[in-house]
């Protein structure tokens, strides 16, 4: 079965996010006043596995080993079975 996987990665609360600060400052320079700017990275892919449980385990491994840095990132995984 094919599964569609979406991993949503953001910096843990309290970590400095220079990208978000830069965006907020640039918006302010253009005259837009916004607050609490934050950025989130999403990685999506499809994976072919026998069961949802197998995908969950595999994606958790990928996050720990490569996709995220557990010291500074929080992440959420969502998995959905694909049609066909």
Residues 6+ apart with CB under 8 A from 9: 40, 41, 42, 43, 67, 68, 73, 74, 75
State which of residues 16, 48, 71, 83 lies at the interface with a copy of itself (CB under 8 A).
Answer: 48
**Is 37 one of the binding residues for a copy of itself (CB under 8 A)?**
yes
Nearest partner of 49 among 61, 62, 59, judged by Cα = 59
**Is 30 one of the binding residues for a copy of itself (CB under 8 A)?**
yes
Cβ closest to a copy of itself, residue 61 vs residue 72: 61
**Is 79 one of the binding residues for a copy of itself (CB under 8 A)?**
no
């Amino acid at each position: 079965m094919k599964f569609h996987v979406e991993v949503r990665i953001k910096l843990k609360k309290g970590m400095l996010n220079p990208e978000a600060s830069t965006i907020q400052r640039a918006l302010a320079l253009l005259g837009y006043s916004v607050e609490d700017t934050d950025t989130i990275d999403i990685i999506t892919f499809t994976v072919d596995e026998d069961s949802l449980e197998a995908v969950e385990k595999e994606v958790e491994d990928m996050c720990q080993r490569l996709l995220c840095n557990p010291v500074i990132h929080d992440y959420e995984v969502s998995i959905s079975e694909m049609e066909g």
